[in-house]
Amino acid sequence: MNSIDYTLYVCTDRCLMSSPTIEESVEKAIKGGAGVIQLREKDASGRSFLQIAESVHAITRRYGIPLIINDRVDIALAVGAEGVHLGQDDIPARAARRIIGPDMILGVSASSLEEARQAERDGADYLGVGAMNPTMTKSDADTVTVDELKAIRAAVSIPIVIIGGINLGTIGHYKGLGVDGIAVVSAVVAADDPERAARELKAAWLA
């Protein structure tokens, strides 16, 4: 799993995207430098989610980019996705690892030191830590301070991507903290030019 480029991790959102189709949104993000795509379909039926996942996976495979399915282990397995991402209210990471086996990527959301430690113990390959700032995509998310982020980074050895209101205006607060990448939703998919937005965010993070 060490070969994955977590620098720019883009999560989809069909309600926010500026592109006419989810496929176009994903392809623009990848062309702009996204190294990981997470497919989030909170309101889709299982059948609809599966169809979207198959279509999106065809694109990510073409570019050699891992597709992570949010929440749904069954969908991830059904389409042969490279990974699954679980929140604290989803099935426990330990149970998910038993289902998906040792080779599929397992990501876990964490907003506290204990959640982060538990996720690593349970077999997570990376953490999504946040929300770092208030965000329109998840209004009920617990916020994480920079000090808490530092404590999590010191406590776990697996990669960390930060999420929650990450954009060109906030990105500078989190550089130099040992974080492996930034996870964004609206900063890329809602932009007028998602490809350019992705490229600018990645450049700003790496600068």
User: pLDDT digits over 42-91, tens only?
Assistant: 899 999 999 999 999 999 999 999 999 999 999 999 999 999 999 999 99
**Does 3 map to a domain?**
no
The residues, ordered by sequence, that sit 6+ positions from 70 with a Cβ below 8 Å of its Cβ are 11, 38, 39, 40, 41, 42, 84, 85
Q: Give the mean pLDDT of 141-145.
A: 87
Identified catalytic residue from 19, 25, 72, 109: 109
Give the position of tokens 């903290």.
177
The pLDDT of residue 134:
80
Domain of 67?
Answer: 8-206
Tokens, residue 99: 């289902």
- Residue 157 designated active-site: no
Q: Name the 3-class secondary structure at 127.
A: strand
Give the position of tokens 């907003």.
111
**Does 128 map to a domain?**
yes
**Does 16 map to a domain?**
yes
**Does 60 map to a domain?**
yes
CATH of the domain at 196: 3.20.20.70
- Residue 109 designated active-site: yes
**Does 105 map to a domain?**
yes
The pLDDT of residue 1:
41
CA dihedral 32, 37, 43, 47 (to 10 degrees): 120
The pLDDT of residue 142:
82
Cα-based distances in Å from 40 to 11, 37, 68, 169, 174: 7, 10, 9, 24, 24
Residue 31 has pLDDT above 90, yes or no: yes
Q: Give the mean pLDDT of 99-110.
A: 98
**Does 180 map to a domain?**
yes
Residue 2 has pLDDT above 60, yes or no: no
- Residue 40 designated active-site: yes
Cα distance between residue 132 and residue 102, in whole Å = 30
Identified catalytic residue from 31, 61, 94, 138: 138
Identified catalytic residue from 40, 72, 97, 153: 40
**Does 25 map to a domain?**
yes
**Does 2 map to a domain?**
no
Average pLDDT in the chain: 95
**pTM for this one?**
0.96
Provide the number of structural domains found in the chain.
1
